[in-house]
């Protein structure tokens, strides 16, 4: 059987998104049909619409979602109809060279649904990062469904599926932030603020938020930043040194995705410190680092894909922290919107007015 529902589609590079009829097949073996209940509007959705991720238009957008399982295909034992789940865009295959070496968070063959969703005229859709959450029904691989405690509401749970996990994991999984560490986070959007909150939870002593927007710095303080730097006014490298007894931070997290902020993070570190790059660069960007500085400073430069998350391990931890009042996920939600409002949400995102707009699906 097929289901005809509504979804938000980017038809052409740069064109405004539109609401389209989407045809979703019943789940094949290993697949799950999910009714997304809430899905955050993430920067990556906008990157898709702008053609910065690929050219496989039309895209069915949305990938930061939580919802309810409607139906499961043959052989699916991990979830059943009625279960509440957070959708992950990493579902380790268990068989690639990375999985077999015990590093499933680097899985090179992450699973997605094998059947395609389509437009009404039969055109195949590409689901954003294999999720397609701005849609009344979506089809995913069973491994993408991480069961969630039903006490957490869908709007905040969905955020764990992308931005919050990326920022939290950048600090804790990739950066290894621990008790007593000093940390600087460049870019205090949803990802950066999650890195700040995670650093505080991990016991960091000094947590410095850097941004060029005063509102973002205020929110960063609400998430626990002990200090903030307005990089439009003050030199972040000098200010971070001054705040850390002249030495720099143990872990500098870049959550913007630009060469200038990467270099600031690079030079804000103490000797043998770690730079984590979680901001996503575009293909035109280049770095020019004096090789002696790279060598002489020691330490590590570590890209963080999806916060090096293993969703089945990490999502329940974040849900638990939230339910115990230690991770205020509701503060990431700037507004709740309808499925028809995604284009307007992109505009508000561009103007820096929101951390996250969350699409609610009845």
Q: Which residues bind ligand APR (CB under 6 A)?
A: 43-44, 163, 166, 186-192, 210-213, 216, 231, 255-257, 260-261, 278-280, 352
**How many CB atoms are closer than 10 A to CB 301?**
18
- Which does residue 133 touch among ligand APR, Zn ion, none (CB within 5 to 8 A, set by kind)? none
Q: From 106-114, 167-175, 192-200, 324-332, give the range in contact with Zn ion by CB under 5 A.
A: 106-114
Q: How far is the CB of 224 from Zn ion (least distance, A)?
A: 22
Q: How far is the CB of 3 from ligand APR (least distance, A)?
A: 31
d(CA 57, CA 39): 21
- Pseudo-torsion of CA 85, 88, 94, 96, nearest 10°? 170
d(CA 117, CA 131): 11
- Binding of Zn ion at residue 96 (CB under 5 A)? yes
Between residues 172 and 210, which has the closer beta carbon with respect to ligand APR? 210
Q: Are the beta carbons of 280 and 47 closer than 8 angstroms?
A: yes
Q: From 107-115, 307-315, 319-327, 348-356, give the range in contact with Zn ion by CB under 5 A.
A: 107-115
Q: Which residues pair with 242 in a beta bridge?
A: none
- Which does residue 192 touch among Zn ion, ligand APR, none (CB within 5 to 8 A, set by kind)? ligand APR
Q: Name the phi and psi angles at 333, rounded to 5.
A: -90, 105
Q: How far is the CB of 235 from ligand APR (least distance, A)?
A: 11
Q: How far is the CB of 277 from Zn ion (least distance, A)?
A: 16
Collapse the DSSP code of 133 into the 3-class scheme (helix H, G, I; strand E, B; otherwise coil) and give the result. Answer: coil
How do 356-360 and 31-40 pair as beta strands? Answer: antiparallel
Identify the DSSP state of 135.
B
Please give the structure tokens belonging to residue 312: 């089945």
- Binding of Zn ion at residue 156 (CB under 5 A)? no
- Which does residue 209 touch among ligand APR, Zn ion, none (CB within 5 to 8 A, set by kind)? none
d(CA 103, CA 90): 13
**Smallest Cα–Cα separation from 91: which of 67, 108, 111, 109?**
111
Q: Which residues pair with 303 in a beta bridge?
A: 277
How do 18-25 and 59-60 pair as beta strands? Answer: unpaired
Between residues 7 and 133, which has the closer beta carbon with respect to Zn ion? 133
Between residues 213 and 343, which has the closer beta carbon with respect to ligand APR? 213
Please give the structure tokens belonging to residue 51: 């053609």
Q: Which residues pair with 38 in a beta bridge?
A: 66, 360
Between residues 204 and 277, which has the closer beta carbon with respect to Zn ion? 277
Between residues 73 and 279, which has the closer beta carbon with respect to ligand APR? 279
- Which does residue 96 touch among ligand APR, Zn ion, none (CB within 5 to 8 A, set by kind)? Zn ion
Q: How far is the CB of 5 from ligand APR (least distance, A)?
A: 27
d(CA 251, CA 260): 17
Q: CB-based contacts of 296: which residues, under 8 Å, 6+ apart?
A: none
Contacting residue, 162, 206, 310, 333, with Zn ion by CB under 5 A: 162
Q: How far is the CB of 116 from ligand APR (least distance, A)?
A: 25
Between residues 205 and 259, which has the closer beta carbon with respect to ligand APR? 259
Contacting residue, 44, 274, 304, 334, with Zn ion by CB under 5 A: 44
How do 65-72 and 84-87 pair as beta strands? Answer: antiparallel
- Which does residue 210 touch among Zn ion, ligand APR, none (CB within 5 to 8 A, set by kind)? ligand APR
Determine the residue with CB nearest ligand APR: 189
Between residues 117 and 160, which has the closer beta carbon with respect to ligand APR? 160
Q: From 38-46, 75-83, 176-184, 287-295, give the range in contact with Zn ion by CB under 5 A.
A: 38-46
Between residues 254 and 270, which has the closer beta carbon with respect to ligand APR? 254
Between residues 117 and 191, which has the closer beta carbon with respect to ligand APR? 191
User: How far is CA 136 from each of CA 23, 52, 143, 301, 333, rounded to the nearest angstrom?
Assistant: 10, 26, 20, 40, 21
How do 18-25 and 118-119 pair as beta strands? Answer: antiparallel
User: How far is CA 358 from each of CA 80, 102, 163, rounded to the nearest angstrom?
Assistant: 25, 35, 12
Residues that bind Zn ion (CB under 5 A): 42, 44, 92-93, 96, 99, 107, 109, 162
């Amino acid at each position: 059987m097929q289901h005809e529902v509504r979804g938000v589609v980017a038809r052409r590079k740069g064109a405004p998104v539109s609401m389209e009829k989407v045809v979703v097949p019943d789940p094949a073996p290993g697949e799950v049909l999910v009714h997304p209940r809430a899905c955050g509007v993430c920067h990556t959705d906008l990157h898709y619409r702008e053609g910065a991720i690929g050219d496989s238009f039309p895209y069915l957008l949305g990938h930061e979602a939580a919802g309810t399982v409607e139906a499961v295909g043959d052989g699916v034992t991990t979830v059943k109809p009625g279960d509440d789940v957070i959708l992950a865009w990493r579902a380790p295959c268990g068989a690639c060279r990375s999985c077999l070496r015990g590093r499933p968070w680097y899985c090179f063959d992450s699973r997605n649904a094998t059947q395609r969703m389509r437009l009404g005229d039969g055109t195949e859709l590409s689901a954003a990062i294999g999720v397609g959450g701005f849609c009344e029904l979506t089809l995913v691989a069973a491994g993408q469904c991480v069961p969630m405690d039903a006490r957490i509401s869908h709007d905040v749970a969905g955020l764990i599926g992308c931005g919050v996990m990326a920022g939290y994991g950048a600090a804790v999984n990739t950066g290894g932030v621990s008790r007593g560490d000093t940390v600087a986070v460049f870019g205090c959007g949803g990802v950066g603020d999650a890195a700040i909150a995670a650093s505080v939870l991990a016991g960091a002593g000094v947590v410095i938020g850097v941004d060029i927007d005063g509102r973002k710095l205020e929110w960063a303080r609400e998430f626990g930043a002990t200090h903030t730097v307005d990089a439009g006014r003050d030199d972040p490298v000098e200010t971070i040194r001054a705040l850390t007894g002249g030495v720099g931070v143990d872990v500098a997290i870049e959550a913007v995705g630009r060469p200038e902020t990467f270099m600031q993070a690079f030079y804000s570190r103490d000797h043998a410190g770690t730079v984590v790059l979680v901001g996503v660069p575009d293909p035109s960007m280049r770095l020019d680092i004096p090789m002696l500085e790279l060598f002489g400073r020691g330490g590590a430069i570590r890209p963080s894909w999806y916060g090096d998350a293993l969703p089945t391990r990490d999502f329940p931890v974040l849900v638990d922290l939230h339910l115990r009042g230690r991770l205020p996920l509701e503060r990431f939600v700037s507004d709740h919107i309808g499925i028809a409002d995604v284009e307007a949400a992109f505009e508000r995102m561009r103007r820096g007015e929101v951390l996250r707009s969350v699409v609610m699906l009845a």
